[in-house]
Amino acid sequence: MYTYLKTEFRENGICVLTLSAPKSLNALNSALIGELDDFLTKLDTTATRVLILTGDGDKSFVAGADISEMANLSEAEGLAFGQRGAEAFRKLEDLPIPTIAAINGFALGGGCEIAMACDIRYASANARFGQPEVGLGIIPGFSGTYRLPKLIGQGMAKELIYSGRVIKADEALRIGLINRVVEQEELMPAVIALAEQILRNAPLAVSYAKECINRNYDLDRREGLALENELFARCFTTEDQKNGMQAFLTKQKVNFQGK
Instruction: State the catalytic residues.
Output: 113, 133
Give me the phi and psi of 105, to 5 degrees please: 160, -140
Q: Using CA atoms, how far apart are residues 200 and 75, in angstroms rounded to an integer?
A: 48
Q: Report the side by side order of strands in the sheet with 5-9.
A: 5-9, 14-19, 50-55, 99-103, 120-124, 180-182
Q: Chain-centre distance of CA 72, in angstroms?
A: 29
The region that residue 63 occupies, defined by phi over 0 for left and psi between -120 and 50 for alpha, beta otherwise, is alpha
Q: Who contacts 122 (Cβ-Cβ below 8 Å, separation ≥6)? A: 100, 101, 102, 103, 178, 179, 180, 181, 182, 187, 190, 191, 194
